[in-house]
Amino acid sequence: MVREIVIWPDPVLKEIAKPVERVDDSLRRLLDDMAETMYAADGVGLAAPQVAVLKRVLVIDTSPRQEGQKLIHLVNPEIVKTEGITTYTEGCLSIPGEAEDVERAAKVWVRALDYHGKPFELECDGLLAIAVQHEYDHLQGTLFVDHLSSLKRELIRRRMKKLKVEQEAERAERKAEQVKGAKRHESAL
Ligand SMILES: [Zn+2]
């Protein structure tokens, strides 16, 4: 099931997510929903707080832009080692339409539990290393805009607030259309 992605600024995105105690069927449902939501939005990564679930859970699939990659589920991820520095123009599904250069480690080693609760360690470079750091940040209540100057961040915040007002108006309009539609249907009886 595709879930709704929370748009920044929203308080849930500033919370620190809680560790998962057990990888069971209900968690796997969350993982499946997150992957579906990520693919539907054409993203390469998604963190649970972005669908308003404060759990330390990530899905990442950089394969559209990085050869040899596939869907990865990361439960309770820990970045255990980093190496080098690189700059990448990042976007975020919670900050649609925006992209800015962010400096990150070029290579990271991450330890996590997989889809079945089995521990594994992964060496990541290229876009995968960026995605792991970006998504891990979400679990700490940090977004890529927090790596920017306050001026840039405020400009993006204003654009996002405007976007949210537009989305709300659209939603209200759709609802009104539905009510009208329902009434039409009633009177046709
Ligand atoms: Zn993001």
Tell me: the pLDDT tens digits for 131-146? 999 999 999 999 999 9
pLDDT at 187 over 70: no
pLDDT at 68: 85
Active-site choice (36, 78, 135, 166):
135
pLDDT at 61: 97
Catalytic status, residue 83: no
pLDDT at 186: 60
- E strand spans, 53-184: 57-60, 72-83, 86-90, 100-104, 107-113, 119-125
pLDDT at 67: 86
Q: How far apart are CA 188 and CA 31, in angstroms?
A: 44
Please give the distance, rounded to the nearest whole angstrom, from the Cα atom of residue 94 to the centre of ligand 1.
6
